[in-house]
Every structure is written in structure tokens, then in C-alpha cells.
Amino acid sequence: MSDQNGRVLVKAEELTKLFPVETSLLTRADSYIHAVDEVSFEIHEGESLSLVGESGCGKTTTGKLLVRLHEPTSGRILIRDEEGNMEDIAHRKGREMRAFRRRVQMIFQDPFESLNPRRTIFDTVSEPLTVQGIGSLGEREERVANLLERVGLTPASSFLFRFPHELSGGQRQRVAIARALIIDPLFIVADEPTSMLDVSIRTGVMNLMSELADELNVSYLYITHDLAVARYMSQRIAVMYLGKIVEKAETEELLSNPLHPYSKALISAVPVPDPRYEREAIPIKGGISKPIDPEPICRFYDRCPIRTEFCKNNPHPPLEDKGGGHLVACYEV
Amino acid sequence: MVRSTTVQDQIDARQSLTRGNPLLVVEDLTMHYKTRKGDVSAVDNVSFTLAEGESIGLVGESGCGKTSVALSLLRLLPENGYFKGGHIWLGDTDILELSEKEMNDVRWARISMVFQAAMNALNPVYKVGEQIIEAIDLHWGVGSQEQARQRVAELFEMVGLDPAMMDRYPHEYSGGMRQRAVIAMALAVNPDIIIADEPTTALDVIVQDRILQELSNVQEKLGMSMIYISHDIAVIAEVSDRIGVMYAGRMAEIADAVSIFERPLHPYTYALMSAFPSITGPKHDLVVVPGEPPDLLDPPSGCRFHPRCPNAIERCRQEQPPLEEMEPGHFAACWNPMEVTG
């Protein structure tokens, strides 16, 4: 497996983010949403890891922590610098962040909101270069034009000085990809980058992202609710539930042989584009709740079809290797 | 009544296959939106039929006209929308000919709709139960408050909601519960046809699965007909007996669900399926459809898919292909369809 041979590029160690629950303006928060709770994973050079789960599971918060749009409550975020040292950027501030921002970029879900409507495509895509003080205006223009061609906005000259509202959703997302790539980052957090796009447009953007990852040796944390998309976009998948990673394995292994009861239910609920296919239904109880000061036991206990007395009396189970790098957080597997 | 050939073929095909008369016949429906830049040809000569107890899925991408078809069936077009031609036969009545007052008796009581955004389909300042009672009152008249509440409780149970929830406000419901409440409201006065426009699009996959299950169960139990509308061919595959694939305001292909998946005839249907990722089966390369859907202010000549079509021939640029029966019960609008192989 190639990705395991690559060096570790990004490492999250026991990453935690708590959000205070506002009760009133004047009182101090005394309860917290455990949005991300002691989450650990690594991403290798050129590898793409998908983070999947339902709304509210903490996948977007995890992504925002990695690009430091949020500051973690605790835990470490190690990213390899140019000299090959792993540096912890979990609590970096201001000026210290600039070098880091060159290496890590983010692509957002909604291309209608993530681009400034008053700025031309050139302004938007070249902004990271301007901020980092790279190149003269002429050089920037050439660089932006080359990249626009590469992301499929051809001829670049007809796009450079247009505004976002003149572009379709797919074209806008290509602009967002170009903006993320313009300063040659090593690592991109992509938060549902294709979920707003139509099928016939989506495939082009997915393929483009995969090709660019290979060409430029970029790694992705690919955040999605859609397991079928994750299958195509990543070598490994991590399943999140209420702030915890409950299972992590190579993509095909996880989809064909899920071990955690939640992953099983999730996979069994995905509709299959084939009317002849009979899905095996794995019902689970209730719905997803908010992890406000959760009990210190397994997060899935309330809904779990295989829970036991042991689960009730023990802490949330650790992620354990059940063989071949297939990690599961469950006492009963 | 004299019907156009395309829809008459569909009715004939249906009678030879199922020996059933259609409950609803949409015939050459054409509707436009007026805009400052000109007319948008949102629905163009669309024909399909729906039998009693049948579910049909309309699938296509944004702007293909699927939601406009749904709004047409209820005559709930936005202010700038207008009908340019065609008929919508509900039994022997063309609902496009009805007065607004007569239409009110059709809406909800005969054809009702589960709207896309369940968040916005409920009034936030009224209790959910009250809103459903209001719908019942409009059509049946509420006997006593007790009877009405009885009916709401019955509906709630049907869609898997705790009847105690009827005295709560919409914000106290989760997304999935709200969608169930909207379904309960659509069922309130026993309609013959329910249109479900992206009924689960905003929901998580586990909740989506349950709601689709619930809808299918209710449909079977009450013997209703369903029109599902979605961009998601996997969802459509799960719930539909027949599938209509729409592209740029036109019906590209329509057939029973299995035929559509086994032997897609229209290159667009084929492309849509090859572009759709699945978690099952071998991982094939996803096919990219070049280009983007056309601007319906100025749609392409001939077949509207021809600029993106790998099979396009000269004729496609010139002439609009009619929706023709290419195999028994399997209709496609294409001059150069996919090879049909055993």
C-alpha cells in the first residue's frame, strides 16, 4: 500500500474541541458540547482520508481545527514543516501562522458563499499569493492563468476577470480548488466540496481533485456524509459518531466489512442505484442527539443493538486494531 | 378526448402491460417562466402516466424541470410561470381547465405534496397538530375538536410519530420528525396522489432510509399513487416502480425501474448512471459528462442534450426527437440510442 510508505504529514493527537452551551448572557457556561473528543489520526504524504458521519458528528469541526479556523480545547495538531520536523500548530497565533497557512488550505461546501461576489476570479485565486508576498503582478497573473487552465477553466483569459455570479456552480468550485492550490499546499481539508453539485458536474470535480492530488502530491482530509463519494475520493475512511472516531480502515475493507454497529447501520442505510439490489436492513434505535456533557460511557450506547452490561459500566471504548489496520472502538466486536 | 401520439402510445403500452387505466395523464405539458431576459422553457412537451397504486420517480439535475412538473400538477406555479400548452388529466378532467375554486378541491384532497424543505413547510408559530387540523377542516370540515385530534393521532402513528407531539411547535421537532409531520399533513384528507419533492434530501442517511420505508409502507397500505422527485437516482431506484429521466425540461426516457437500469437507451440516462458512485459492486471509473446543462432561455436546437452527447449525429442538431416506444413499455427520445445488448 503506497500511502503507508509515504511519511506522515499531518497528525492529530487526542484533538478535543468543546463548545460552551450558552444558557444566558450573564451566567458562565457550565455545560459543553463535546464536538470533537480525543480524536487521533494521521494522514500520509499524498494520501486522502475521508471523514464520514451524519450531521452533528463533529466532522466539520475536526476539519476546521486542522486548518485552525478553530483553536482546539486540547490535543495536538502536528504538521510537517519544510525541514521535515513535525511542529505542533494547535495554539499558534497571528504571525506564527503565516508559514503554516502556506502548507494547509481548505475548500468549502458552498461555492456560492465561499467566493467574494465583488472580486474577480483573478483577485480571488491570487489572494494567497498576495498575502504571502509571492511574485510580481505579472508573475501572479501567469501563475493564476496556468492553474485555471489546469482546473478546467479554459481558456483562462476568458475567466480571469469575471465575477463569481457569471459562473456555474461547478465552475465556482473549480475556482475554489484553484485558490486552494495556488500556493502549492501539502494538505487540503475539503469539506463536502461536491455535495452541492449536480451528478454530471460532480464527477468532473471529483476526478479533478484526485488527479491533482496525484500530480502535486497533495494530501486530503475529505469530509463527507456520502459514503459512495468517500469510496472514490480516499484510500482510508474514518467513521465519526458524536465527536468520536468509531471505526477506521482502508476504504474497500470498511465498506465491505464494517465492524462497528454504527458503521454497519450507516452503510446498510445507503440507497443503492440499482432497483434489483436488496439491501440488508440493520435498524438502530432513535436518532442522533447532541453530545452535551455526555456520559463517560460509549457514545453509541443508547442506540446500540449489541450493547451489554459491560458497555454500561466502562468508559468509551478505545480504538483498537482488529487486524490489518482495521480499527474499531467497540467492546463487543 | 383526442390525445397526442406520444401519450397515447404510453397509455396503450400501459394497457397492454398492466391492463390498468391511468389515474393521471400528463400530456404534452409545456410551461414557461417569464423573466426579464425572456422566456425560460422549463417544461417542454412532457408526457407521462400514473396508474392507481403506482409510484413513478422523476429524476434529473437542477433545472431539468422536475419540480416545475410537480408545481404544475398542483397548479402552484410562481407568479412568473404560465402554461403554454398541454393537458393534465385527472380521470376525465383536465385540471388546467378548472377554475381556481374547483382547483382548491383537487389540491390536497386528490393531489397533495410533501415539500422539499420540511423546515419551511410548517408554520413556526402554530402547533403542528393545529396546522394539520386546519388542512382537514378546509376539506372535510372538522366535526368536533375531539374527532379532528383523533384523526391527527391516527396520521401521526401512520408516519411513526408519537401522537403526543401534535401539541408541540415545529422547532421542537428534529429534521426527520418535521419531515414526518409534513408527510402526515400530506396524507390528512386521503389524497389519491402524493407528490414527494426531494422528501429526504436534507436528511441524514439513516433517517432518510426510515422515511422512505415509511412512505412506501403508507403508500401500500392506503393504495395511493406516488410521484417521487429527486436528483438522486439511488433514492429513485429504491422507491419507484417506473422512472422518468428528465433533461433540460424534456422527458428523455421513461420505463419501468429495472429496464431503465438494465438497458438505459438514452445516452443521458446512461451518463447519469455511469457518473453516479455506489458503495456496492465493483468500483468502476466514474464517467464525466462534458459541458454543463443548457441555458433554457435559449435552449439548443434539436435534442437539448446534443451538445454534451457522445452519440450525437447530424439529425440531433436539427430535429427534436419524439418520445418513442423503443421496447415494450420503454420510451426514449433519441435519434441514436445506446446499443441494446442482450
Query: What are the pLDDT digits (tens) for A277-312?
Result: 888 878 787 777 788 889 899 999 999 999 999 999
- In chain A, count H helices and then E strands: 11, 12
Task: Note whether B293 contacts A200, CB cutoff 8 Å.
Answer: yes
Q: Which residues of chain A make contact with B204, given a CB cutoff of 8 A? A: 54-55, 225, 288
Three-state DSSP state, A277: coil
What's the predicted TM-score (pTM) here? 0.90
User: How far is residue A169's CA from residue A176's CA, in Å, rounded to a whole number?
Assistant: 11
Task: Give ∠ CA A46-A172-A180 in degrees, rounded to 5.
Answer: 35
Task: Note whether B273 contacts A273, CB cutoff 8 Å.
Answer: yes
Select the residue from B64, B198, B206, B233 to test the A interface by mutation, using most A Cβ atoms within 10 A.
B206
Q: Which residues of chain A make contact with B206, given a CB cutoff of 8 A? A: 54, 265-266, 269, 284, 287
β-partners of residue A223 are A51, A191
Q: Which residues of chain A make contact with B207, given a CB cutoff of 8 A? A: 287
Predicted local distance difference test score (pLDDT) of residue B292: 87
Of the pLDDT bands very low, low, confident and very high (cuts 50, 70, 90), residue B119 is low
Q: Which residues of chain A make contact with B172, given a CB cutoff of 8 A? A: none
Nearest residue of B to residue A281 by CA position? B209
User: How far is residue B9's CA from residue B12's CA, in Å, rounded to a whole number?
Assistant: 5
State pLDDT tens for residues A232-252: 999 999 999 999 999 999 999
Residues of A with CB under 8 A from a CB of B: 54-55, 168, 170-171, 198-204, 206-207, 225-229, 231-232, 252, 255, 265-277, 281, 284, 287-288
User: How far is residue B77's CA from residue B29's CA, in Å, rounded to a whole number?
Assistant: 13
Q: What is the mean pLDDT of residues A103-114?
A: 88
Q: What is the mean pLDDT of residues B173-180?
A: 87
Task: Note whether B233 contacts A231, CB cutoff 8 Å.
Answer: no
Q: At what angle do helices B175-187 and B145-158 cross, to 10 degrees?
A: 120
Could you tell me what percent of chain B has a pLDDT over 70?
Answer: 94
Select the residue from A234, A274, A280, A290 to test the B interface by mutation, using most B Cβ atoms within 10 A.
A274
Q: Which residues of chain B make contact with A231, given a CB cutoff of 8 A? A: 277, 279, 283
Of the pLDDT bands very low, low, confident and very high (cuts 50, 70, 90), residue B110 is very high
Residue A315: is it exposed, middle or buried by C-beta count within 10 angstroms (0-12/13-18/19+)? exposed
Of A170, A226, A271, the CB nearest to B237: A271
State pLDDT tens for residues B293-321: 999 999 999 999 999 999 999 999 999 99
Per 3-state DSSP, chain B is made up of helix, strand and coil in percentages (nearest 5) of 40, 25, 40
